[in-house]
Structure 1
Amino acid sequence: MKRILLADDHALVLETIAYFLTRQAGFQVEKAGSLTEALQVNAEKGPFHLILLDYTMPGMDALAGLTRMRAQSGCPVAILSGTAPPDIARRALRAGAAGFLPKTLDPDQLVSAINQMLAGETYLPQHFGNEAPAGATATHLTQREQMVLRGVADGKLNREIARELDIQEVTVKLHVKTLSRKLGARNRTHAAMLARDRGLL
């Protein structure tokens, strides 16, 4: 079972998200109401597979809190926010965040985003733009997306790609959707064609 540390100073938001992730998505969730408390929980109950930090809670000091938690935890750390604009989201990714999750995400989107980060990828909402984290290629495809793309180009089914990469089939579907959007492709076949034209394969 994947373990998540969720930190938010808004009690209702904290309890609502924690309840859904525990009861509906099957994660084991520990909660905190500030960065100081989150650091303490991580030290006492870690390690975790993923840590979610509210951008504006006490102790965060903008993205300094992200840096502190990443240094202590050694696991992916993502930012939650109800109000931060796209430029803050992109700054968070450049600072090493595993993702940026608006609190307006519906439950299914939230779980998909978390699964994407647990698979080692970076999450940024589509409407926040396509800026990629460090390590992506000039065309903004992550290493995992490139691996999935090669499988698609070889004519493999999602379940075959998932088995080869040792990830869930739903994760492959998410990668195909994301890389198709990044390439401007209409479907997976079109994505493979565009990738070949651009020298990505």
Structure 2
Amino acid sequence: MLNKELLLADDHDLVRDTIAEYLRREGGCSVSVAASLEGALDAARGNVSFDLVLLDYSMPGMDALGGLARMKEAVHCPVAIISGTAPPDVARRALRSGAAGFLPKTLDPMSLVTAVRHMLLGETYMPLEFLSETGQVDERVVLTPREHDVLRGVAEGKSNKEIARDLNIQEVTVKLHVKTLSRKLGARNRTHAAMLGRDMGLT
């Protein structure tokens, strides 16, 4: 995530500063912060180069998901919702309203970085509440060593091209492995595959 510009808005100082510092240190990106929706909108108007915006669902000015719509109009990048209290139904509505993802604050730090990486690649991050509803995961899934390697790269937020370079194989081969392992896992997309693989201890 080097050279990526993030905007994080949360009215809880400790949470905001902790998340921002971790994304800077472990994600290698630049993070601007705000304590309210209006503050975030002001920051967005003053910086047109943001690559991703993270908005706390319950901070001042959000008006439920009204703040999501306002921010989406103000920036030309993905906008995601973060929350420590919103129920799964809110997550579903956020995604239906065009959010790039919904990040529970209960996510462990590395999962947070992985989620941000996926969204920076243009993918949608879905919380575990969604993944557990599919009922498609087979606990006896067996992946080949190469599929494990590819899944590990996907879980790290790498693109197919990056995975191909790391493994010294063709990009089209990576695509085929992603398709196969997604079928084995019952995953809807590569982000889903990464989350399922992590939950099953495959990465």
In the superposition, the TM-score normalised over structure 1's length comes to 0.69
Aligned-residue identity in percent = 52
Residue of structure 1 aligned with 2:24, choices 22, 30, 53: 22
Q: Equivalent residue for 1:83? A: 85
Question: CA shift at 1:166, angstroms?
Answer: 3.7
Deviation at 1:59, TM superposition (A): 0.4
| Aligned match of 1:136 | none
CA drift of 1:127 comes to 2.5
**Between Structure 1 and Structure 2, how many residues are aligned?**
161
Q: Helix, strand or coil for the counterpart of 1:40?
A: helix
Residue 18 of structure 1 and its aligned partner are, at CA, apart by 0.6
Partner of 1:110 in structure 2?
Answer: 112
Aligned to 2:70: 68
Pair 1:158–1:48, CA change in 2 (3 A): same
Structure 2 residue matching 1:52: 3-state secondary structure: strand
**Who is 1:56 aligned against?**
58
Return 5+ residue gaps in structure 1 as ranges: 132-151, 189-201
Unaligned runs of 5+ in 2: 134-143, 167-173, 194-203
Given that 2:53 and 2:80 are in contact with CA atoms closer than 8 Å, whether structure 1 keeps it comes out as: yes
| 1:33 counterpart = 2:35 | yes
1:48–1:75 CA contact under 8 A, matched in 2: yes
| 1:198 corresponds to | none
- Residues 78 and 101 in structure 1, CA contact (< 8 A), matched pair in contact too: yes
Q: Which digits, 9 at most, give the CA deviation of each residue in 1:130-181, with x for residues without a partner?
A: 78xxxxxxxxxxxxxxxxxxxx9xx9x739x9999545569x79x7776654
Equivalent of 1:120 in 115, 119, 122: 122
User: Which of 158, 166, 170 is 2:150 aligned to?
Assistant: 158
**SS of 1:80 mapped into structure 2:** strand
Distance 1:183-1:53 versus aligned 2 partners, 3 A rule: closer
Distance apart, 1:36 and its partner CA: 0.2
Cα contact 1:80–1:102 (8 A) shared by 2: yes
What TM-score, normalized by structure 2, do the two folds share? 0.68
The structure-2 alpha-carbon separation of the partners of 1:165 and 1:5, relative to structure 1 and needing over 3 Å to count, comes to: same
**Whole-Å separation in 2 of the counterparts to 1:30 and 1:65:** 18
- Is the CA contact (8 Å cut-off) linking 1:42 and 1:73 kept in structure 2? yes
CA-based RMSD: 3.5
